[in-house]
Amino acid sequence: MRVNLATLPFFDFSRREFLKGAAATAGAFVLGAYIPFSREAFAQEQGPAKGPYDPNLFLKIEIDNSVTLISKHFEMGQGVTTGLATLVAEELDADWSAMRFAFAPNDPAVYNNLVFGPVMGTGGSTSMAESWEQARKVGAAARMMFVGAAAAKWNVPASGIKVEMGVISNGSGHRATFGELAADAMKTPVPTEIVLKPPQQWQLIGTRLPRLDSKGKTTGTAVFAGDIRRPGMLTAVVRRPEQFGAKPVSFDASEAKKLAGVVDVVQISRGVAVLGTDTWAAMRGCDALKVTWDASAAEKRSTSEILAEYRQLAGQPGLVAPGRGDAAAGMARAAKTLEAEFTLPYLAHAPMEPLNCTLEVHGDGAELWSGCQLQSIDQLVTAQVLGLKPGQIKIHTLLGGGSFGRRGNPMADWVVEVSEIAKAIKGRAPVHLVWTRDDDIKGGFYRPLVLHRVKVGLAANGTITAWQHRVVGQSIFMGTPFERMAVKNGIDASTIEGVIDTSYELTDFAVDVHNAKSPVPVLWWRSVGHSHTGYVMETVIDEIAQATGKDPVALRLELLAKQPRDAAVVRLVAEKAGWNRPFPRGKGRGRGFAYHQSFGTRVGMVAEVSLTPETVKIERIVAAVDCGVAINPDVVTAQIEGAIGFALSTALRNQVTLREGVVEQRNFDDYEPTRMREMPEVEVHIVGSQEWPSGIGEPGVPPLAPAIGNAIFAATGKRFRSLPMGLKTLA
Amino acid sequence: MITLNVNGESHQFDVSPEMPLLWAIRDKLNLTGTKFGCGHAMCGACVVHLDGEAARSCSIMVGEAAGKRITTIEGISGPVAEAVTHAWQSLDVVQCGYCQSGQIMSAIVLLNENKNPTDEDINLGMEGNICRCGTYVRIRRAIHQAAKALA
Ligand code: FES
Ligand code: FES
């Protein structure tokens, strides 16, 4: 079933506009949506004797003095709960060891993502940017309320009261902890004028604070969605079609139903679900099913045929994006031209935790336990399938075992599945839907397959006279509720982000697009369009350096002359990697450079590789990053390290290919993530900055593959214009 | 009836001896720290200890595990386990954390067998554990740190 999301009101607000204008518009949007403390919540609370209480919507302070951040954002490993807690604790003057986190209930009126509009969701590397002011104001408001409560209780002037490490005190011997004063603090008026600390007074922001989720995740006690156990729960595993777009017609469950533990078999719109008393029973039952499919509307082509169509499209002019100058005239001035075609494959997200969730239907509504990245969408689709009102769906957001975009699907495909299954069994038991790894790799919602054609005009002196760039691929945003955010005049901004908004100065620059169509579902995949545009741009820049005899770093600095923040990152990484020191070439060793800005964050990388005729080893990656204020520099470093590990197998070997419409990969043997021995040494350098923070979850991905490709070129003279490179690593 | 000894306690199950140990642990005992990643011995998310050896519980049948000492992440103890867990926490190895039970279970076995592993020993000992979040730099560092703490 295709759920109608047209009822959801989305603001017409592009992520990019936000990131560029964040500092300027912050006051307006934050105050509009900002509810630091709710009066209703105060009214419910009578005092600490009743145990834990919610003095406001973002904080829970308990009598044991613990301070729980109510996280509006989904934690999928990016460290967002630690980051948000840092902002609150900084302004509250809390003791870091007393900080905890919990996930907020689904209430977009309070917990909306300020970038997405009236929608609760996490993505686009927006979390710290959108919460930067709000979370600090929550902390500061709470602190002021504690000070006000102490002043009243002790009958002393507020000006003499200080707050340190969760303790409120004054010079004349009064002292109380947060827990002791919280009941009084809640009754003080919520301040309307909130002053934030100047950066010089920060004690937590910019320091290495330990992650709040480390303990649970190292002791087996952290609760992921798949760990939910409800009384009477049945586990469902779904057989889906081999070809995207095929539909189930009928099924024969006679063999499946003979198996111990198989309870029921039901048809849903995307396939046939087997319900069992445990996961293994459901998996075996699913294997024993016989399903007849209607494949009339299915994708039946192979990857080579799809690419042949892309090439044909690429031969014709596409939809024209707003470029700069006059590329045709610039091309006419060129002394020579450089032309290149790139293809980059469909990619599966393959988060370590395969998709899953649990849905329980009650008389008056339903509860969903899931690693929810887009709570508002998950709520709406559940309500629509079950025929309930969105307000009747309660969502419990749980830790996600990775996502990389997959758990934030505007089609909420697996939530639709669980809802249809629950409906088919008339809600008689809680349903725990489990995807296997094979389901995950073969299940679609891939990073789009794309083809780029680039033509660059070069003057005799080596300067760029024109840049013409054509991209062919499926749109991610079209047909989703986020369409208005990203699609203008038929062009999906995510198809060309990283090209059209390049930091490089290209004066005569033209970009056009063909939207290819296929039943293969596509989705944002860690760094979205930048995951392919970064590779193309940085490879072409390297080719230009080669063609014009320029040093790759010098060429980039030339093109970034008007972009001081970008240039500073390029200089920093070049310096730290010793770019100006001679590198022993020719002996199977190479060094390559790449730089890319995405989600407002600037990342440069130098890759050092060594090669034999069949294998490559990535020895070292030196990275530099400017993400504005590095709220927790250790988390920033970890995200860059992790992005390198994530992107490495993609550069070398990962791809989803179709053969007559059937996905050819199915598990970690033929879609193998990076392994320990392949991981290079990594050095991360962070630019000290007081700019508004930008994202860090995604921007480490785009520069890795081109840095490696450029290093391999330096060693061998071989260019990779398609990914994956198809190189083996040393065993 | 199958009897399994898990984390020092004996449990009886009425399940097929062919059920993978992983699902007995997760679905019958509700010990959810052991994770499902691939189901085919390719990722290590499901690693437990069987008589002190690392074993991928997705690919071992309960019938084979009966009579053995099964330890899951919830049941680890002793100086090596403590050193490993402490190193993991002090270096903030985790990101999503989903692979980390398995990583820790493999690292404990590695350090039990090799007090001072080289980088190459770590490559070999941790080869079967995938981390999709790419935390390998810190896993390596944490293993070295734990080895140092135990020396
Ligand atoms: S789930 Fe057992 S090795 Fe992957
Ligand atoms: S921490 Fe996410 S898979 Fe390892």
Domain containing B131 — which CATH number?
1.10.150.120
Q: Are residues B20 and B48 in the same domain?
A: yes
Indicate the SS3 state at residue A535: helix
Measured CA distances, B45 to A176, A220, A613 (Å): 46, 12, 34
Residue A110 located in a structural domain: yes
CA–centroid distance for A494 within its chain = 14
Q: Are residues A544 and A508 in the same domain?
A: yes
Q: Are residues A383 and A483 in the same domain?
A: no
Boundary of a domain, candidates A164, A183, A218:
A218
Q: Is B32 on the interface with A (CB under 8 A)?
A: yes
Which atom of ligand 2 is least distant from the CA of A401? 2
A643 confidence band (pLDDT: 50, 70, 90): very high
CB contact under 8 A, B93 and A218: yes
Residue A392 contacts residue A376 (beta carbons within 8 Å): no
Residue A63 located in a structural domain: yes
Q: Are residues B59 and B86 in the same domain?
A: no
Residue B31 contacts residue B6 (beta carbons within 8 Å): yes
Q: Are residues A626 and A664 in the same domain?
A: yes
Q: Give CA–CA dist A715/A535, Å, rounded.
A: 18
Q: Look at A388-392, A492-496, A727-731, B18-22 and tell me which has the smallest mean pLDDT.
A: A727-731
Distance from CA of A666 to the nearest CA of B (A): 10
Residue A2 located in a structural domain: no
B62: CATH: 3.10.20.30
Name the percent of chain B in helix, strand, coil, to the closest 5.
45, 15, 40
A478: pLDDT strictly greater than 80 = yes
Average pLDDT for residues A177-193, to the nearest whole number?
83
A686 confidence band (pLDDT: 50, 70, 90): very high
Nearest to B98 among A401, A434, A641 (CB): A401
Q: Are residues B97 and B60 in the same domain?
A: no
Q: Are residues B46 and B95 in the same domain?
A: no
Q: Are residues A311 and A430 in the same domain?
A: no
Q: How many domains does chain A fold into?
A: 3
A673 confidence band (pLDDT: 50, 70, 90): very high
With CA atoms as reference, the chain B residue closest to A220 would be B33
With CA atoms as reference, the chain B residue closest to A350 would be B132
Residue A27 located in a structural domain: no
Measured in angstroms, how far is the CA atom of residue A350 from the centroid of ligand 2? 11
* Surface of B (85-114) touching A: CB under 8 A: 85, 88-90, 92-101, 104
Q: Is B20 on the interface with A (CB under 8 A)?
A: yes
CB contact under 8 A, B140 and A402: no
Residue A64 contacts residue A53 (beta carbons within 8 Å): no
Boundary of a domain, candidates A171, A190, A218:
A218
With CA atoms as reference, the chain B residue closest to A214 would be B89
CB contact under 8 A, B97 and A401: yes
Q: Are residues A287 and A310 in the same domain?
A: no
Q: Are residues A542 and A608 in the same domain?
A: yes
Residues of chain B where predicted confidence (pLDDT) is lower than 70: none
With CA atoms as reference, the chain A residue closest to B76 would be A219
**Which residues, 6 or more positions from A498, have their beta carbon under 8 angstroms from its beta carbon?**
A529, A530, A532, A533, A534, A537, A596, A598, A702
CB contact under 8 A, B92 and A214: yes
Q: Collect all residues of chain B within an 8 Å Cβ-Cβ radius of residue A404.
A: 132
With CA atoms as reference, the chain B residue closest to A221 would be B33
Ligand 2 close to Cβ of residue B95 (< 6 A): yes
Q: Are residues A130 and A275 in the same domain?
A: no
Range of the structural domain that residue A139 is part of: 33-218
Name the percent of chain A in helix, strand, coil, to the closest 5.
35, 25, 40
Residue-level length of chain A? 731
Q: Collect all residues of chain A within an 8 Å Cβ-Cβ radius of residue B19.
A: 278, 280
Distance from CA of B151 to the nearest CA of A (A): 22
Measured in angstroms, how far is the CA atom of residue A673 from the centroid of ligand 2? 11
Q: Are residues A331 and A290 in the same domain?
A: no
Range of the structural domain that residue B31 is part of: 2-75
The overall average pLDDT reported for chain A is 90
Q: Are residues B62 and B6 in the same domain?
A: yes
Per-residue DSSP letter, A115: T
CA atoms within 13 A on the CB side of B47: 27
Q: Is A217 exposed, middle or buried (0-12, 13-18, 19+ CB in 10 A)?
A: buried
In this prediction, residue A117 carries a pLDDT of 72
Measured in angstroms, how far is the CA atom of residue A272 from the centroid of ligand 1? 25
Q: Are residues B116 and B132 in the same domain?
A: yes
A22: pLDDT strictly greater than 60 = no
Burial annotation A415-430 (CB, 10 A radius, 16+ → b, else e)? bbbbbbbbbbbebebb
Q: What percent of chain A has pLDDT over 90?
A: 79
pLDDT, tens only, B18-31? 999 999 999 999 99
Picking from A122, A218, A617 by the largest number of B CB atoms within 10 A of its own CB, the best residue to mutate is A218
Distance from CA of B100 to the nearest CA of A (A): 6
Measured CA distances, A562 to A504, A522, A559, A691 (Å): 9, 36, 8, 18
Q: Is B139 on the interface with A (CB under 8 A)?
A: yes
Measured in angstroms, how far is the CA atom of residue A338 from the centroid of ligand 2? 41
Measured in angstroms, how far is the CA atom of residue A20 from the centroid of ligand 2? 31
Residue B117 contacts residue B125 (beta carbons within 8 Å): yes
Residue A263 contacts residue A277 (beta carbons within 8 Å): yes
CB contact under 8 A, A351 and B20: no
In this prediction, residue A120 carries a pLDDT of 86
Burial annotation B59-76 (CB, 10 A radius, 16+ → b, else e)? bbbbeebbebbbbbbbbb
Residue ranges in chain B assigned as alpha helix (H): 21-23, 62-65, 79-90, 100-113, 119-125, 136-150
Residue with the larger pLDDT of the pair A22 and A194: A194
How many inter-chain contacts (A to B, CB under 8 Å) are there? 179
Q: Collect all residues of chain B within an 8 Å Cβ-Cβ radius of residue A644.
A: 134
Three-class SS of A424-443: HCCCCCCEEEECCHHHHHHC
pTM of the predicted protein model: 0.93
Measured CA distances, A582 to A122, A552, A578, A656 (Å): 44, 14, 8, 39
Q: Collect all residues of chain B within an 8 Å Cβ-Cβ radius of residue A433.
A: none
Average pLDDT for residues A276-285, to the nearest whole number?
98
Average pLDDT for residues A408-425, to the nearest whole number?
96
Q: Are residues A463 and A381 in the same domain?
A: no
Residue with the larger pLDDT of the pair A183 and A458: A458
Residue ranges in A75-220 assigned as alpha helix (H): 80-92, 108-111, 127-154, 178-187, 214-218
Average pLDDT for residues A648-663, to the nearest whole number?
98
Average pLDDT for residues A480-502, to the nearest whole number?
93
Burial annotation A154-186 (CB, 10 A radius, 16+ → b, else e)? beeeeeebebeebbbbbeeebebbbbbbbbbbb
Q: Are residues A187 and A284 in the same domain?
A: no
Nearest to B45 among A79, A280, A352 (CB): A352
Q: Is B16 on the interface with A (CB under 8 A)?
A: yes
In this prediction, residue A56 carries a pLDDT of 58
A311: pLDDT strictly greater than 90 = yes
Q: Give CA–CA dist A433/A378, Å, rounded.
A: 14
A6: pLDDT strictly greater than 50 = no
In this prediction, residue B22 carries a pLDDT of 98
Q: Are residues B89 and B71 in the same domain?
A: no
Measured in angstroms, how far is the CA atom of residue A592 from the centroid of ligand 2? 28
Q: Are residues A606 and A720 in the same domain?
A: yes
Measured in angstroms, how far is the CA atom of residue B24 from the centroid of ligand 1? 14
A187 confidence band (pLDDT: 50, 70, 90): confident
Which atom of ligand 2 is least distant from the CA of B93? 1
Residue A281 located in a structural domain: yes
Q: Are residues B83 and B123 in the same domain?
A: yes
pLDDT, tens only, A513-545? 999 999 999 999 999 999 999 999 999 999 999
A13 confidence band (pLDDT: 50, 70, 90): very low
Pocket of ligand 1 (CB under 6 A): B 36-39, 41-46, 56, 58
Q: Which ligand is nearest to the Cα of residue A213, counting in written order?
A: 2
Ligand 2 close to Cβ of residue B96 (< 6 A): yes
CB contact under 8 A, B135 and A223: no
Q: Collect all residues of chain B within an 8 Å Cβ-Cβ radius of residue A220.
A: 31-34, 72-74, 101
Residue A19 located in a structural domain: no
Per-residue DSSP letter, B38: -
Q: Are residues A200 and A240 in the same domain?
A: no
A530: CATH: 3.30.365.10
Q: How many domains does chain B fold into?
A: 2
Q: Are residues B56 and B110 in the same domain?
A: no
In this prediction, residue A34 carries a pLDDT of 29
Average pLDDT for residues A558-579, to the nearest whole number?
98
Q: Is B40 on the interface with A (CB under 8 A)?
A: yes
In this prediction, residue A32 carries a pLDDT of 21
Boundary of a domain, candidates B12, B45, B75:
B75
CB contact under 8 A, A217 and B137: no
Q: Are residues B35 and B99 in the same domain?
A: no
Q: Is B145 on the interface with A (CB under 8 A)?
A: no
In this prediction, residue A48 carries a pLDDT of 29
Nearest to A673 among B94, B122, B130 (CB): B130
Q: Are residues B49 and B91 in the same domain?
A: no
With CA atoms as reference, the chain A residue closest to B22 would be A280
Measured CA distances, A427 to A320, A364, A464 (Å): 50, 12, 64
Q: Is B27 on the interface with A (CB under 8 A)?
A: yes
Indicate the SS3 state at residue A131: helix
Residue A11 located in a structural domain: no
Which atom of ligand 1 is least distant from the CA of B42? 3
In this prediction, residue A729 carries a pLDDT of 82
Measured CA distances, A264 to A213, A289, A421 (Å): 38, 12, 10
Boundary of a domain, candidates A189, A218, A247:
A218
Q: Give CA–CA dist B54/B46, Å, rounded.
A: 10
Candidates A70, A356, A382, A375; CA nearest to A225 is A356
Q: Are residues B45 and B83 in the same domain?
A: no
**Joined tokens for residue A131:** 């919460």
Measured in angstroms, how far is the CA atom of residue A353 from the centroid of ligand 2? 9
Distance from CA of A261 to the nearest CA of B (A): 9
Nearest to A210 among B30, B92, B99 (CB): B92
User: How many CB atoms are located within 10 Å of the residue A340 CB?
Assistant: 15
Average pLDDT for residues A298-304, to the nearest whole number?
98
pLDDT, tens only, A27-81? 211 212 223 333 333 222 333 222 222 235 788 888 888 888 889 899 999 999 9
pLDDT, tens only, A239-267? 999 999 999 999 999 999 999 999 999 99
Q: Which ligand is nearest to the Cα of residue B38, counting in written order?
A: 1
Average pLDDT for residues A713-722, to the nearest whole number?
94
Residue A416 located in a structural domain: yes
